[in-house]
Amino acid sequence: MKAVKYLAIILVTFVIIAGIAIPMVLQPQSLLEFPIIPGLEDKARNIFFHVPVAWTSVLGFLVALFYGFKYLRTKNLDYDIKSVSSAGLGMMFCLLATMTGSIWAKFNWGSFWNWDPRETSIFILLLIYGAYFALRSALGSDEVRARLSAVYAILAGLTAPFFIFIMPRIVGGLHPGAKGDASGSTPVAQLHMPPNMRIVFFAGLIGFSLFFIWLLNVRIRAARVEHQLSIKDH
């Protein structure tokens, strides 16, 4: 876990420095110059942060789902601790993705919120996280809470294909890859980036994922201690 921690720190620091400091010029000559994308200009730098954060919020949900599933198979409460820790982190990243995206949308598309399919999807992911924690707080015993919240996470996960594959095709959108995009509508937008931007972008994706894994590890350990203490109290 130490290696993950230091790698995450190095990668995220690299992304912050490279993503913000590398100048944007009309005719990039060296590796240390990004091209200017018409219409985006310096706002394009947000892609190094917004996309990894949005990806991590989905990752958090998938990990919570995975451990919820494992809990149902084994009835081992430790999996529930892992599941809820991941969901909490995912919710934080989901809020960050909503905020970075909303600010970007204001300056590029003119308003903070446009109900574009991807905005709708992240809004629903937020609602799912909210509902998940509302459900957890309304259930009494540890065992029932773990069981029912795992079931709810799986049910919510079942609707994900409708948002990822179907909705972007039927509703026109502003994000790349939406219906009406010249480069084709696909669930995952194609990257049109020069190699040096691509390096920073993927460093961001990997860096934020590792950052998530490290934070998850810390949270799980803290939650285990809290669980042990609550058992001792009774």
Partner 1 sequence: MNSIASTWAVVVKDVRSELRTRYALNALLMFVITSVATILFALREDELNPEILSGMFWVVIFFTAMSGLSRIFVSEEERGTTLTLQLVASPSVVYFGKLIFNCGLTLLLSSAVTVLYVVVFPAFVIKSALIFGLTVFLGSLGFASAATIIAAVIAKANTKGTLYPVLSFPILIPLLMTVMKSTARALDGELFTAALGEFQILVSYLLVMTAGSYLLFDYVWKE
Where does this chain bind partner 1 (CB under 8 A)?
Answer: 72, 120, 124, 127-128, 130-131, 134-135, 138-140, 144, 147-148, 150-152, 154-156, 158-159, 161-163, 166-167, 170-171
> Measured from the CB atom, is 35 or 157 closer to partner 1?
157
What is residue 24's three-state secondary structure?
strand
**Beta carbon nearer to partner 1, 21 or 134:** 134
Nearer to partner 1, 147 or 224 (CB): 147
The least CB distance from residue 202 to partner 1, in Å, is 31
Question: How far is Cα 61 from Cα 94, in angstroms, rounded to an integer?
Answer: 10
Task: Compute how many other C-beta atoms are within 10 angstroms of the C-beta atom of residue 17.
Answer: 11
Question: What whole-number distance in Å separates Cα of residue 212 and Cα of residue 215?
Answer: 5
In angstroms, the CA 160 to CA 121 distance is: 9
In terms of Cα–Cα distance, which of 42, 53, 16, 14 is closest to 205? 53
Of 40 and 124, CB closest to partner 1 = 124
- Shortest distance, CB of residue 135 to partner 1, whole angstroms? 6
Residue with Cβ nearer partner 1 (10 or 154): 154
Q: How far is the CB of 69 from partner 1 (least distance, A)?
A: 10
Q: Backbone phi, then psi, for 76, in 5-degree steps?
A: -95, 115
Length of the chain, please?
A: 234
- Closest separation between CB of residue 74 and partner 1, Å? 12
| List of residues 6+ apart from 204 with CB closer than 8 A | 11, 12, 15, 19, 48, 49, 51, 52
Our CB check for partner 1 shows the closer of 158 and 231 to be: 158
State the minimum distance, in angstroms, from the CB of residue 65 to partner 1. 12
Q: Rounded to the nearest whole angstrom, what is the least distance from the CB of residue 45 to partner 1 in the complex?
A: 32
Residue 173 or 204: the one with the smaller Cβ distance to partner 1 is 173
SS3 category, 25: strand
Dist CA 198 CA 203 (whole Å) = 8
- N- to C-terminal Cα separation, the chain: 33
Report the nearest approach of partner 1 to the CB of residue 167 (Å): 7
